[in-house]
Chain A
Amino acid sequence: MAFWQNLKDSITGSQVWKSMFRHDYKDTRRNRALQILNNVFLHLHPVSVARHATKIRFTWCMGGITFLMFLICTVTGVLLMFYYRPTPEYAYTDITHLAFDVSFGPLLRNMHRWAAHGMVIAIWLHMLRVFMTGSYKKPREFNWGVGVVLLVLTLFLSFTGYLLPWDQLAYWAVTVGTTMAKSHPGIGAEGPLTPEFVTQANDIRFVLLGGTTVGEVALLRFYVLHCIFVPLIASILMAVHFWRVRKDGGISGPM
């Protein structure tokens, strides 16, 4: 036993260890607070949480599960990007390559897919819980607004990811989805209140697709939106969302 104790002491007592972890594991109030405060990942989190807020029956942990799903999608998505080229020539064959030939390809692809479905489900349940517990009320109105934007971004992530396999299902689903954008009032070519100069060659669908049909430009745009643009915006808003939970008085109490 003395050997293991010595080993542990020599590791945790080393300069390398101490430079990374500025506090020890003493179970004191002050030390528990420092563990949260001195960690870049945890410092968005409140230093202490009200006892009621840890009740799973109150929060369902749906916000946390949504975030977990986002993390799974991020990790698996980055790995999938190693094998995927967003051009009509390669997109579909790269997906079949991933699905049949790459080691653990099907596992990663299915994790990405099911985590994405799970994220959409969890985010709705999170919204339902927040609504049912009245947690959107003053002083949390702003955070409700941030959450609504995050919901829309999540749905948009699902929609942009849908095109990437570049098969019949993807192609027609996105054809249908972007044709709906044509009917947007004011900025869709066939929507109400749309001025004469807005045509199918410069309306909102045109910007989204980078053309008038779902083609190679659209595939590249959806890829960039899916992998970089939307996750980046969503990450920033998530940081704000979590920060505001704490700043608005922590998780709301039972009514």
Chain B
Amino acid sequence: MGRRKFFKAFGWIGTLAGMAGSSLFLLVKFLFPRALYEPATEFKAGPPSNYPPDPGGRIRVYENYKTTERVWIVHGDDPTTGKHGIYAFYAQCTHLGCTPRWLENEGKFKCPCHGSGFYPYGVNFEGPAPRPLEKLAIQMLEGQVVIDKAQRYREEKGQWSDARSIIETPRPVA
């Protein structure tokens, strides 16, 4: 290939590839939003006295923030870590993302979509869900329980032992 032919081919291919490449880059970049107008992930859930423990030692599930924040607040033992306290679950099935229901009488979370079941402390025991529910970051701030839904803790990754996933409370003496 002569010099003239080389530069001609180089020029054409370079120009066309540059145009195609920058158009493709534009398209891909355009489809990723940079600002999301989604609700805030952090919310205040009132004083911890709103979530008293069960005198009989069972795990209590509070649905106060299920419809507005999609969060369950739980008070009781956590057999997976041996701790006792207030912790929060994101109310999203780990199978395909539906919202499970808390069935008080049966003492379990049950997903209406494909039948996954979870113990009150979040561990899956029936149906297709492959892993436990996700815990949320929870802390005390100025006398209030504050929950951050952006910070998740997964049991199968050993993250439930993280101190930020639970507000520890003393075990009630029987």
Contacts and interface: CB of A to CB of B under 8 A. Distances in A.
Interface of A: 172, 175-176, 178-180, 202, 206-207, 210-213, 215-217
A175 B98 contact: yes
In this complex, the interface size class of chain B, counting residues with CB under 8 Å from chain A, is: 10 to 19
B36 A172 contact: no
A206 B32 contact: yes
B33 interface: yes
A207 B27 CA distance: 11
Pick the most buried of B31, B36, B97: most chain A CB atoms within 10 A of its CB. Answer: B97
16 contacts: A172-B98, A175-B96, A175-B97, A176-B98, A179-B96, A179-B97, A202-B32, A207-B32, A211-B33, A211-B36, A211-B38, A212-B36, A212-B38, A213-B38, A216-B37, A217-B33
Contacts of A176: 96-98, 113
A134 to B, nearest CB: 38
A180 B36 contact: no
Given A175-B97, A175-B98, A176-B96, A210 B33 contact: yes
A62 B37 CA distance: 45
Contacts of B33: 210-211, 217
Interface of B: 31-33, 36-38, 96-98, 113
Contacts of B37: 216-217
A176 B129 CA distance: 13
Q: When A and B form their complex, which 7 residue pairs have the shortest distance between CB atoms, in order from nearest? A: A179-B97, A176-B96, A179-B96, A175-B97, A207-B31, A211-B36, A210-B33
A124 B96 CA distance: 27
A20 to B, nearest CB: 40
B102 to A, nearest CB: 18
B83 to A, nearest CB: 27
